[in-house]
Chain A
Amino acid sequence: MRCITTGANRIANRIMVTAAICGGLLFAVACGGSGSSSDGSTVTTTPSNNVLAISVNAGPNGDYANGAFASVTVCVPSTTTCQTIDDVLVDTGSSGLRILSSVLTAALPQQKASDGNAVVECLPFVSGYTWGPVQTADIELSGEKASSVPIQVISGSDFPVPTACANFGSSQDTLSALGANGILGVGTMAQDCGQGCESPSPIYWECPASGCVEAGESLALQVQNPVALFSTDNNGVIIELPAVSGPEATLSGSLIFGIGTQSNNALNGATVYPVDVNGNFITTYNSQQYNQSFIDSGSNGFYFLDSSSTGIPVCSDANYFYCPSTTQNLSASNAGSTGTPSGTVTFSVANADNLFNNSPNDNVFGQLGGPNSLSGFDWGLPFFYGRNVFTAIQGQHTPGGIGPYWAY
């Protein structure tokens, strides 16, 4: 591919790749600098703008703790009918874009199965599910674009929620329950469900007039991680957020697309931790190994173990947070899913009641933690404060190897 530079898009691009590093293959990938095209003529190019601003703030409900939000532009495929949606949660713990139908004005086309039936999804989260039709959109994130991407439009009303979906628990189909206008899933997987949903499951449904039935969907029809569908910078993302010393009202950072594709997204010596097929790696704490641990910008704290194994009491008024009498400075070790490499992580957990009570107007809490009794460590957004965290997508080549992996 080749990109012709104009003055306007040069200015629009925040990051420039110098001509010196943009020969040969890198030229093709990063589309930067100037180089020779295949027909021998010289073209001048710029890298695509691969930096999307993110902000940790109170979110659209005004009460979110440790949520990183971004603006996402969706367009009716192959048209200029577009809508920019603010306050979309940036989530490395899931894959695929989900938008509340209540904030969506662009009329996106319905994803249809080969038999013509509407494809609808029920996506379970730990505390509930989102339900709604799969529709397709062109997605624009900074200067990156992915075309005709299946996304989930969260809506309890377009199609009635089937019993097997409702049986997951509580609905998160509203702004008050979701706490965001949508979720931008930029995790390690290319699809949200993958091979497990090629057979009928309570995740994907087809909904003829007679009613919705569980259906197997091919990988291409499933909701997709949009990053994997970019023409460049499509092998993963970096989240960059500064360190915090105490509670703060807001925190600004970047979601950068691509790993080792431009001058602003090199691994720079970050350690690469491979992830297993289910999206987990290993955390060791107090000599105990937890194989279902994961890094997740969409979790809002350090969630790990329980009071009996950590000795840290939960809060009397909120048993999903820890409330130690004094701030606990802790240490754990993360390792790739096969056991190597490994590296130490230090982190602190403060009294959540004190954090919230003493800083009622703040939304950034780098020492918020709580229990996660069975699945090991859930390294949520506070883990990202002061660390550049790379998330490489399954099957994608990067200078640090083939995804999936996390690196930091």
Chain B
Amino acid sequence: MLTISLPAFAGLGEDVSSVQADQAHMQGSLRTTQTQAYTLHEIQAPSGIVVREFVSPTGKVFGVAWQGPWPPDMRQILAGYFGQYQQAAQAQVNSHAGRKPLVIDQPGLVVQSGGHMRSFTGRAYIPEMLPQGVSAEAIR
């Protein structure tokens, strides 16, 4: 039983405390790794989905990466950015018709996602929130 109230949606752009909500939502195990520039919280779900949340020294989730047989709950891990993601994904589907990996590169939000059923991989991050010295390449 939870005795503290957690944000309903956690993840990208939220406080580090939201990682616990994601862990609870995924019914996963949590492993935390500290590096000089950020803290990595890796949540492993029984389904095989792995979500990695990258937290800045100021305690904000600036990037998330995922891998698994199907995508994670994108609303959960993108939190307040889900609407922007959904809109941009729909726009890409409707232009230059054809099935392809997803690339969203907008001011304030980058999402890249690829793969196929049984093997999905992706990442999302907020470019302005990357801690100094951390490249987007680290988010995987």
A residues with a Cβ closer than 8 A to B are 59, 61, 63-67, 89, 91, 93-95, 123-128, 163-164, 166-170, 172, 176-177, 179, 187, 189, 192-194, 196, 199, 201-203, 277-280, 292, 294, 296, 298-301, 303, 306, 308, 314, 318-321, 356, 370-375, 378, 380
Q: Mark B56-85, 1 if CB is under 8 A from A, else 0.
A: 000000000100011101111000001001
Chain A residues, Cβ within 8 Å of B118: 189, 193-194, 196, 277-279
Give the 5 A-B CB pairs with smallest separation, nearest first.
A300-B98, A375-B114, A167-B75, A170-B90, A278-B119
* Binding site secondary structure of chain B: mixed
Residues of chain B at interface, number, CB under 8 A: 43
Check A374–B100 contact: CB distance below 8 A. Answer: no
Check A172–B98 contact: CB distance below 8 A. Answer: no
Chain A residues, Cβ within 8 Å of B96: 63, 65, 318, 320-321, 356
Asked whether B44 is an interface residue with its Cβ less than 8 Å from the other chain, the reply is: no
How many A-B contacts are there with CB distance less than 8 Å?
167
Given contacts A179-B99, A380-B100, 4 further A-B contacts (CB under 8 A): A65-B98, A89-B99, A303-B101, A374-B112
The CA-CA distance from A406 to B32 in the complex, in Å, is 39
**Chain A min CB distance to B88 (Å):** 9
A177 interface neighbour in B86, B90, B105, Cβ under 8 Å: B90
Check B99–A125 contact: CB distance below 8 A. Answer: yes
Asked whether B3 is an interface residue with its Cβ less than 8 Å from the other chain, the reply is: no
* Binding site secondary structure of chain A: loop
Chain A residues, Cβ within 8 Å of B73: 164, 167, 202
**Chain A min CB distance to B47 (Å):** 6
On whether A193 and B117 interact (CB within 8 A), knowing A67-B98, A201-B70, A374-B123, the answer reads yes
Asked whether B95 is an interface residue with its Cβ less than 8 Å from the other chain, the reply is: yes
Check A303–B114 contact: CB distance below 8 A. Answer: yes
A375 interface neighbour in B46, B47, B105, B119, Cβ under 8 Å: B119
**Chain B min CB distance to A406 (Å):** 13
Chain B residues, Cβ within 8 Å of A94: 116-117
Check A64–B86 contact: CB distance below 8 A. Answer: no
Chain B residues, Cβ within 8 Å of A298: 99
The CA-CA distance from A373 to B120 in the complex, in Å, is 12
Check A168–B71 contact: CB distance below 8 A. Answer: yes
On whether A374 and B140 interact (CB within 8 A), knowing A172-B93, A278-B69, the answer reads yes
Check B115–A375 contact: CB distance below 8 A. Answer: yes
Chain A residues, Cβ within 8 Å of B47: 196, 199, 201
Which interface residue of A167, A169, A356 has the most chain B CB atoms within 10 A? A169
Check B97–A63 contact: CB distance below 8 A. Answer: yes
A-B contact pairs, 12 of them (CB 8 A): A67-B98, A126-B102, A126-B114, A170-B86, A176-B94, A179-B99, A196-B48, A196-B69, A279-B119, A300-B98, A373-B112, A374-B140
Chain A residues, Cβ within 8 Å of B102: 126-127, 320
The CA-CA distance from A195 to B11 in the complex, in Å, is 29
Chain A residues, Cβ within 8 Å of B123: 373-374
Check B117–A303 contact: CB distance below 8 A. Answer: no
The CA-CA distance from A168 to B90 in the complex, in Å, is 12
Check B98–A64 contact: CB distance below 8 A. Answer: yes
**Chain B min CB distance to A356 (Å):** 7
